[in-house]
Amino acid sequence: MDGTRRSDIEIGAEVAVVQKHHQRSGELTEGTVKRILTKSPNHPHGIKVMLEDGTVGRVKEIH
């Protein structure tokens, strides 16, 4: 499942995100969702979330 639909993502979910400075390389960071930052129901590049460790990125994979 990709992370383009807000309804697919829940607080506490395990996800892989790409951070802003890793967008070109596509390097993913894994973690647990703490907050969902995107308000719209979907976003073509992925829903922006904050992970438990404070990392902010767009969801690319939901585990």
Q: Label residues 24-50 b or e (16+ Cβ within 10 Å = b).
A: eeeeebebebbebebeeeebeebbbbb
So what's the pLDDT on residue 35?
98
Fold of 6-62: SH3 type barrels. (2.30.30)
What is the reported pTM?
0.93
- Upper half-sphere CA count for residue 27 (Cβ side, 13 Å): 5
Please say if the pLDDT value at position 63 is more than 90: yes
Say how far apart CA 10 and CA 2 lie, in whole Å.
13
Bridge partners of residue 28, in order along the sequence: 18
Q: Is the pLDDT of residue 50 over 90?
A: yes
Q: Where do the structural domains in the chain lie, given as residue ranges? A: 6-62
pLDDT for residue 9 is more than 90: yes
pLDDT per residue over 16-47, tens digit each? 999 999 999 999 999 999 999 999 999 999 99
| pLDDT value of position 21 | 97
pLDDT recorded at residue 1: 80
